[in-house]
């Protein structure tokens, strides 16, 4: 019996981009489904049940953000956004509405394949296909998204709502270094009344609660001069 091929739905209105992405993904053993409009994408999602979606932000009939929101109402299928917009606000908005990663155009097809592999690896660490738990270091730290619950070594950790939001934001995008402003925008919302250094206090408290050794953190890493990143092996 051969392995079932993982299905990738590629959604972009530029035929050339779809062809290049399809070619690279197929070389790496993926089964590729193409869609050139939002309607086509949503139909194929229902019929094909893909393992991951590569979604262009700018489509003629509906924005990638709107498609992402529609999909998130019914599925946790991993989504990688393709965007020509490099403005931070657009990227943040994409992450905020449920995209798992983003790649800016022009991009290297090999880099995109590597991102696909990484996102699929992260999502397959969770047993259920639409899993709502994030687990790290052999279940040493587990975040249950549905229950808003965090466990360390099997024991529930009591986090404030802001601490939980910060942890979840970083844990969902472990390869991304967040500035303090980004963490405020994504986690705490634009209406957050506090200075960006307030984030440092939240991070310090989080480390005390989830790190085996808060002085030498392995989960929440400080990236000097930039901000913070979630570290996993």
Token pair listed for 233:
């092996």
Q: pTM of the entire structure?
A: 0.55
Between vectors from CA 153 to CA 151 and to CA 155, what angle results, nearest 5°? Answer: 50
Q: Which residues neighbour 200 within 8 Å (Cβ) at sequence distance 6 or greater? A: 180
3-state secondary structure of 182: helix
Domain ranges of the chain: 7-124, 160-230
Give the CATH number of domain 7-124. Answer: 3.40.50.2300
- Per-residue model confidence as pLDDT tens digits over 13-58: 999 999 999 999 999 999 999 999 999 999 999 888 898 999 988 8
Q: Which of 70, 64, 114 is nearest to 93 (CA)?
A: 64
Please enumerate in sequence order all residues whose Cβ is within 8 A of that of 126, keeping only pairs 6 or more positions apart, or say none: 132, 133, 134, 135
pLDDT digits (tens, 9 = 90+) for 108-121: 888 889 889 888 87
Task: Residue count of the chain, please give it.
Answer: 233
User: Model confidence at 128, in pLDDT bands (50, 70, 90)?
Assistant: very low
- Determine phi and psi for 216, rounding to 5 degrees: -130, 75
The set of residues, in sequence order, having a beta carbon less than 8 Å from that of 111 and lying 6+ positions away, is 103
Alpha helices in the chain (DSSP H): 15-27, 38-48, 64-72, 88-96, 109-124, 161-172, 180-183, 198-210
Topology match between the domains 7-124 and 160-230: no
What is the tens place of the pLDDT at every residue in 138-194?
A: 888 998 877 788 999 999 999 887 888 889 888 887 778 888 887 877 666 655 555
First vs last C-alpha separation in the chain: 32
Fold assignment, 160-230: Arc Repressor Mutant, subunit A (1.10.10)
How distant, in Å, are the alpha carbons of 20, 77, 85, 181 from that of 100?
22, 9, 17, 19
Per-residue confidence (pLDDT) for residue 130, from 0 to 100: 44
- What is the predicted pLDDT for the residue at 127? 34
70's tokens: 């529609």
């Amino acid at each position: 019996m051969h392995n079932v091929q993982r299905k990738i739905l590629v959604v972009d209105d530029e035929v050339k981009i779809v062809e290049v992405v399809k070619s690279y993904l197929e070389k790496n053993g993926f089964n590729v489904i193409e869609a050139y409009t939002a309607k086509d994408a949503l139909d194929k999602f229902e019929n094909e049940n893909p393992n991951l979606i590569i979604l262009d932000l700018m489509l003629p009939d509906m924005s990638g953000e709107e498609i992402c929101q529609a999909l998130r109402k019914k599925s946790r299928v991993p989504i990688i956004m393709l965007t020509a917009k490099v403005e931070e606000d657009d990227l943040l908005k994409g992450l905020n509405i449920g995209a798992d990663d983003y790649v800016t155009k022009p991009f290297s097809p090999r880099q995109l394949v590597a991102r696909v592999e990484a996102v699929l690896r992260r999502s397959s660490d969770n047993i259920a296909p639409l899993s709502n738990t994030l687990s790290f270091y052999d279940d040493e730290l587990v975040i249950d998204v549905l229950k808003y619950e965090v466990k360390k070594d099997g024991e529930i950790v009591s986090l404030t709502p802001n601490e939980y939001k910060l942890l979840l934001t970083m844990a969902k995008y472990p390869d991304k270094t967040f500035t303090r402003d980004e963490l405020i925008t994504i986690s705490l919302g634009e209406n957050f009344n506090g200075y960006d250094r307030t984030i440092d206090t939240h991070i310090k408290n989080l480390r005390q609660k989830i790190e085996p050794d808060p002085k030498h953190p392995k989960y929440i890493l400080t990236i000097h001069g930039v901000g913070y990143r979630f570290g996993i092996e």
